[in-house]
Amino acid sequence: MDLAALESSRYLAAFLVGLLGGVHCLGMCGGIVSALGFSQKQHPKQTSAQQFSLQLSYNLGRILSYVVAGALAGGLGAATLSLANLQQAQVLLQTIAALFMIALGLYLGGFWHGIGYVEKAGIGFWKKIEPLGRRFMPVQTISQALPFGMVWGWLPCGLVYSILIWGLSAGSALEGALLMLAFGLGTLPNLLIMGALAQQVTRWTRKLWVKRAAGLVVIGFGWLMLWRVWQALAPPP
C-alpha cells in the first residue's frame, strides 16, 4: 500500500489547520497573550521591538512543547506499528486521525462540541504543571517568556490533541515532531497579531461566519484524508 501522496502534503495541511484553528487558539491562549501585552504596558520604557520579542519568545516556547509532544506521539505510534501488521495499523491510525480532523472542524465551526470532551483528558496533568508557569510572572524578560510559553504549551486543547492523534500515524518520533512544528507555526501568526491588536482580532474571530468558514475548511481536510486512505486501499485497476 502506498500512502506517499497522503504523507507528502501532511505538513502543509497541519500548517493550514493551525492557521485556520486560530479562531480556537485565540479563545484558549488569547487571554494569556493579552495579559502579556498588558504586563508590557506596565513598563512604558520597553520599545516595540522588546515587546514583540517577549510575544515571540512566549510563542516559540509554546511551539517547542508541541514539538516535544509530537515526538512522543510519533514515537508511540511507531512502536505500535512495529508490533502490529504495518499496513493495517497504519490505515487504522490514518482513519482515526481523519475522523478526529472532521470532529475538530465541527468543533471549530460550532456545529458540534463533542471534541471538547477530549480536552478533559489533560486536565489532571495540567493542574500539576500549571503552577510552574506562575513562577515566571509577571513576564518581563525573554528568559521568563520562553519557559512560560513552554508550560502553557501543555494547556489542554482539543485542537492540539487532534493533531497529536494525527502524529500517532506519522511513522516516527521525528515525523511526529515535524508535524507538530508545522501545526505550531500555523498558529503563530494569529497569536502574534493577537498580541498587537487584541481587541480588534478578538471581535473579528467571534463572528459566526468566520468560525463556520474555518470549521468547514478543516472538515474538508478530514474528508480529503479519508478519501486518500480509501484510494490507497482500492485494488489496482
Q: In the predicted model, is pLDDT for residue 203 greater than 80?
A: no
Which amino acid, 89? A
Q: Express each pLDDT in 133-147 by its tens digit.
A: 888 887 888 999 999
Q: What sections of 2-157 are H helices per DSSP?
A: 4-8, 10-20, 22-41, 48-83, 86-108, 116-119, 123-134, 142-152
Positive or negative, the CA dihedral 192, 194, 195, 200 is positive
Rounded percentage of the chain residues whose pLDDT exceeds 70: 76
Note the Cα 31 to chain centre separation in Å: 17
Which residues are CB-neighbours of 68 under 8 A, at least 6 positions away? Answer: 177
Any idea where the domains of the chain sit in the sequence?
Answer: 4-233
**Is the model more confident about 230 or about 175?**
175
Q: Is the pLDDT of residue 3 over 50?
A: no
Which residues have C-beta within 8 Å of that of residue 205, sequence separation ≥ 6? 22, 23, 26, 27, 211
Is residue 198 within 8 A of residue 33, CB to CB? The reply is yes
Q: What is the pLDDT of residues 17-36, one digit of tens each?
A: 888 876 666 655 655 665 56
* pLDDT above 60: residue 42: no
Q: Report how far apart, in Å, the C-alpha atoms of 16 and of each of 11, 30, 155, 211 are.
A: 9, 19, 21, 15
Q: Can you give the pLDDT at residue 11? A: 87
CA 20 – CA 119 distance, rounded (Å) = 19
Q: What is the pLDDT of residues 172-201, one digit of tens each?
A: 999 999 999 999 999 888 777 765 555 555
* Cell numbers given for 102: 472532521
Q: Write the Ramachandran bin of 172: left for phi over 0, alpha for psi from -120 to 50, otherwise beta.
A: beta
d(CA 106, CA 115): 9
Mean pLDDT for the chain overall: 80
38 pLDDT band, cuts 50/70/90, is: very low
The three-state DSSP-derived secondary structure of 188-223 is: HHHHHHHHHCHHHHHHHHCCHHHHHHHHHHHHHHHH
pTM of the model: 0.83
Q: How far is CA 191 from CA 39, 74, 96, 220, in A?
A: 16, 26, 29, 24
Cα–Cα dist 128/45, whole Å: 35
